[in-house]
Structure 1
Amino acid sequence: MRQSGPPLTAFWCERVVYETLDANSPVHTSRCSMSTPAEAIRAIRVDVRALRDTLAPAERERALRWTGPGGSLGAVAALHRGEPCGFSLSGEGLWIEWTVRPYLAFDVSDLSLLRAAEAP
């Protein structure tokens, strides 16, 4: 049996939206995997920018600082070090959290799978 390739670091991204009055039950959750720290943080930055006009002035300022030049550099650096990172905002009665965690992804594209035994 051929072995799969070496494990690669990938980045698990989650966006969870909560109602601010009930932070225990998410309203919406989305997840994806990205290949690089830059891709993962870029996805969050795009999402945050899309929300900026719905935010209160203080949160809008925080969002613009984080999505602006160098604002998310610490998050990219944390992912390169193998550490998780995140960002959160509140607006329109919602609390939104973005998190990114490194994980090991295995390339199994060339892995030979065992055939199932045929029934007698």
Structure 2
Amino acid sequence: MLKLTYTERSFYLECLSLSLEEWVAQRVVLAMRVGQSLHVEPSTASFLLPADLPGLEMLEAAIKRHDTEIMALSRCDAEYMEVTLRGSWLSDGTQEAVGVFVTTMSDRTEFFLHKIWQEAQACASALSE
């Protein structure tokens, strides 16, 4: 399962070993125990990756083999690729873009996407120093 946590300024991508159903059930129980509203709805999430990252070709091949219904990769321009995922959005129900997006796909595709995202973050950190 992939979990994208969106904050006011950025997002963080995690690869979790729990099933989507287990994770959502735990989140519902937590919200009930702390008295927090929780809204779950089908949604999409998108983010950009540098187009020159190694491994993008392998990710594209994995998507074509297993996950075309869940994930799409498209070129934005010469520098960036857009990743679009289908899954579920969990939030407190406010109109803010703060919440958690979760999706599940083949283990291979999840692994490649998470690895490539980590490489993009490392490159961005190196450039900002």
TM band (smaller chain): 0.3 to 0.5
- Scaled by the length of structure 2, what TM-score is found? 0.34
- Scaled by the length of structure 1, what TM-score is found? 0.36
Which has the higher relative contact order, 1 or 2, with Cα contacts under 8 A spaced 6 or more apart? Answer: 1
- Normalized per residue, the structure richer in helix is 2
Larger-gyration structure (1/2): 1
